[in-house]
Amino acid sequence: MDFSEALAHLSQVDTRFAALAAEHGTPEWQPHANYLQALSRAIIYQQLSGKAAGTIYNRFIGLYNGTFPTATQLLETEHSTLRSVGLSNSKALYLKNLNTAFTNGSIETAQLPMLSDAEISKKLTAIKGIGQWTVDIFLMSTLGRPNILAVGDLGIRKGMQRFYQLETLPTPTVMQQHASAWEPWRSLGCWYMWRVAHAPL
């Protein structure tokens, strides 16, 4: 993603983005090819605070001597062992579902980057345990797709509420209306909304 071009566009449509960039810089998103690891990490982080999720993730990695497991290694891991590091019953099952999809041909790693955002979303959400939030985070931070609006992310919703001085958390429709001016660089706009959401009042 070309952050300079994206930032120039966002700053043009709303000068406040320039101030946000001066304070927070730009994301350290480095697209990489270990899609299984990225999606597994997203599952572990679902609906948890960053600190709690990080603790569980580190314990999970610890099961495999500090390195991320292959799909085969994870599938051979007992359900009770996955639960022992703090994973919920459902998340342990979701990890198994995901890794099965990567081993049985449902998800072809080499094919993913060539698919459209919508095609990737359809493939991944067909796996039980992968929702649209997980897909959106994957598209933004792993594949570097520039125009993703994660309407299901609470942090982005809170950021937009503060940024646009809304009385209530915005609905997906309201988010899409405000973010239409960000196109085709909504991913970077979302990143700044996370910064706004966590900024001191």
Query: pTM for this structure?
Result: 0.88
In the 3-class helix/strand/coil scheme, how is the chain assigned residue by residue? CCHHHHHHHHHHHCCHHHHHHHHHCCCCCCCCCCHHHHHHHHHHHCCCCHHHHHHHHHHHHHCCCCCCCCHHHHHCCCHHHHHHCCCCHHHHHHHHHHHHHHHCCCCCCCCHHHCCHHHHHHHHHCCCCCCHHHHHHHHHHCCCCCCCCCCCCHHHHHHHHHHCCCCCCCCHHHHHHHHHHHCCCHHHHHHHHHHHHCCCC
In the 3-class helix/strand/coil scheme, how is 123-146 assigned residue by residue? HHHCCCCCCHHHHHHHHHHCCCCC
Look at residue 98 in the predicted model and tell me its pLDDT.
96
Q: pLDDT digit string (tens) for 146-198?
A: 999 999 999 999 999 999 999 999 999 999 999 999 999 999 999 999 999 98
Domain boundaries, the chain: 3-29+148-197, 35-141
Look at residue 19 in the predicted model and tell me its pLDDT.
95
Look at residue 201 in the predicted model and tell me its pLDDT.
62
The answer to whether the beta carbons of residues 35 and 112 sit under 8 Å apart is yes
Backbone dihedral angles phi then psi of residue 17, each to the nearest 5 degrees? -65, -30
Q: Which CATH superfamily is domain 35-141 in?
A: Hypothetical protein; domain 2 (1.10.340.30)
The correct answer on CATH 1.10.1670.40 for the domain covering 3-29+148-197 is yes
**Rounded mean pLDDT of the chain?**
93
Task: Extract the residue ranges of the chain whose pLDDT is less than 70.
Answer: 1, 201
Tokens of 17: 């983005």
